[in-house]
Structure 1
């Protein structure tokens, strides 16, 4: 087994590759390419860096701006999920996130306060598939926290697809490819919402992703009762769920829909995952576990 870790997107990215039938130098090169994907996606999608592609593009109001695939694809998917959820997952939540104190770069410590006063929604973003351009109607801050990490995980997994087994783990959101070193499915633990060092459920994955959205992950530095999963309608944290884990063939889908399900009331969160044929382990604030779709254990 070869294993390397690096820091991207305010999280530790841990990549493990089974190298039984491959030269170690080939595995090392593939892992480096996988890390490079994370760097490119972060540079394209981060709202915490004023020189990122998304922040530069959104300074041009009512102007069609050509953007790279590393921004275009996750933004397009975020808008699709916004449509499916009637705006509950809205990539224009960025200014609200800033106002709650989620505006500090994890490496430099620098904080940002965007000069945006009017409200906006995902409908103020227009993408042109043919020209690959972004057009925004008014000043806004795009937050791709619900899709960018999953998108990077999938691209990284593509770089490792020739190996018999691998894991790309970005802070607990991960893709498990092939089989582990013993030729079995990868056993993945779902973190207990109240006890960081404990596992509340264990699942087995092969060529699948699991991503988790939890109220315990990131707290506002301004208010202890505010976490990073914020309802765009109320502009307050959602609190019916404590943790929502979604399993999918693609990490970008698991990432987005774990967030979307968390933001919805219990009945609608379950229904959303069922409607899009995704499996989930959802835990409410009383630690009651809801399982959606398939045999998860």
Structure 2
């Protein structure tokens, strides 16, 4: 499944019912890549196969692209000193996804921020001993070298010497899309795949849609949406460190400054036709700050934005993806 484009959602009705009852589904949940993963199917007989497919996909992606794994394939790039290297088909897919998002967000989501992330954490006195030593020369806290400097042709990848990639902003979303599509190829059932704040459905949806909770790590404004068939949700958060050993150096970085984004939004959730698309909207919005709302509104993206003061703002037809009594009226 090649990830070659990101499509803005159009103005269409979701067809969600007004009933609160949810059709029976079966879910398997586990932990991978420092977060919670799950797969839900509408046919109990398909759960074991779906779980195997999704767990293998997630584990393979972690081994390929996790910045905090010393044995990750991603780190082999830095020994090349700027020379082209041949990478696995999976890593090539994940890098391609990151570059596509970088281009479509005007560089607001940039995979070349790895060194800036580590330098930013070190400057704040945080423990960076868990981060593998990458790059051929020291890098300070500076704006990202730029995604345009990364060259990918098929499976040949060239990264400038001293540039450290971080694919965390896109890889988890991209692998959700791949895993859901793979399950749909193998089983005759509707499926919902989740990894952290990303969720994507494939195949038919239950009559009431796929019920997907949105967890606010700050513990104030949990919510819930309903996804139709072949739709996706991505929630990005900032300012509250996740409960994981690599949390001190996993904050989002503004690639234009090499520092943390200005604290405008602490969580953004967006709905799209794929996890990669939705993740591009939610992550870029955290970086864009006050400009994000107009951007999402112009694209008619269903989105929910929570400010650092816990105010909620909505874009697009977000209310069409919530229960009628959920306080999510669209604001213009």
| SS of residue matched to 2:286 | helix
Matches of 1:192 and 1:70, distance apart in 2 = 31
How many residue pairs get aligned? The number is 281
Matches of 1:98 and 1:286, distance apart in 2 = 28
Is it true that 1:208 corresponds to 2:208 in the alignment? no
Is it true that 1:293 corresponds to 2:316 in the alignment? yes
Matches of 2:58 and 2:248, distance apart in 1 = 31
Q: 1:242 aligns with which of 262, 266, 272?
A: 266
Matches of 1:117 and 1:77, distance apart in 2 = 27
Matches of 1:253 and 1:79, distance apart in 2 = 13
| SS of residue matched to 1:146 | helix
Structure 1 unaligned runs (5+)?
Answer: none
Greater strand fraction, Structure 1 or Structure 2: 1
2:116 aligned partner: 96
2:254 aligned partner: 231
Deviation readout 1:194-233 (Å, 9 max, x if unpaired): 326x52x432112211111111442699xx9997122123
Matches of 1:141 and 1:220, distance apart in 2 = 24
1:117 aligned partner: 138
2:49 aligned partner: 29
Structure 2 unaligned runs (5+)?
Answer: 1-24, 323-332
Deviation readout 1:234-292 (Å, 9 max, x if unpaired): 332221101111111111221232111111022x2124334555321111222222222
Q: TM-score, normalised by structure 1?
A: 0.83
Is it true that 1:253 corresponds to 2:277 in the alignment? yes
C-alpha deviation, 1:163, in angstroms: 4.2
2:194 aligned partner: 169
Is it true that 1:281 corresponds to 2:301 in the alignment? no
* Alpha-carbon RMSD: 3.0
Matches of 2:131 and 2:249, distance apart in 1 = 18
Gap change, CA 1:104 and 1:158, over 3 Å in 2? farther
Matches of 2:242 and 2:193, distance apart in 1 = 25
In the alignment, is the contact (CA less than 8 A) between 2:61 and 2:91 conserved in 1? yes
Deviation readout 1:76-101 (Å, 9 max, x if unpaired): 23223223333221111111222344
In the alignment, is the contact (CA less than 8 A) between 1:193 and 1:216 conserved in 2? no
Is it true that 1:144 corresponds to 2:149 in the alignment? no
Q: TM-score, normalised by structure 2?
A: 0.75
Matches of 1:219 and 1:159, distance apart in 2 = 29
